[in-house]
Amino acid sequence: MSSDINELYRRVIYRNNTLTDLLTTSRSTPGELVMCQEKLVQEAVDTLLDNGIQGQLMRDGHNKVYKSFSNVIESKKGRFCETLLGKQVDYSGCSIIVVGPSLSLHRCGLPREIEIELFQTFVIRGLIRQHLASNIGVAKSKIREKKPIAWEILQEVM
């Protein structure tokens, strides 16, 4: 798989270098030749991103189809699905619905504890960017301990 992508990258680089040579070595290169080489570069990039987008699959010397980026990430066994989408995330919360006299019609308020949990990554980033926490662990502890600065950052990010 990675060797397929490496080979497709090699083709892009080779064709791009050929185009660069055409443009830099000779000022009298026919425009049709330059346009043809530009098309070859574009086809190589298209194949790298999605083999078969041009209508015909790129194959190696053994008639094996090259795997492009889209092939690598598209299936359930693809790297994208296995590593990024395969994580279980729980953003559920439970709360009691009450009237909020300060809220206007068609508005909803969230308890602060749920807000801080839902927007935790943004609060962590805010604490670190403002040099109020040196790392993620310190930022999380400030949130866990309900430090006033964590609530202030929450208001800023919301």
Residue 16 has pLDDT above 90, yes or no: yes
Q: How does residue 13 score in pLDDT terms, banded at 50, 70 and 90?
A: very high
Q: How does residue 117 score in pLDDT terms, banded at 50, 70 and 90?
A: confident
pLDDT tens per residue across span 92-109: 667 777 777 888 877 777
What are the angstrom distances between the C-alpha of 120 and each of 33, 114, 145, 149, 157?
Answer: 56, 10, 13, 13, 10
Residue owning tokens 């999605």: 50
Q: Is 25 helix (H, G, I), strand (E, B) or coil?
A: helix
pTM for this predicted structure: 0.47
The CATH code of domain 112-157 reads 1.10.40
Domain with CATH 1.10.40 in the chain: 112-157
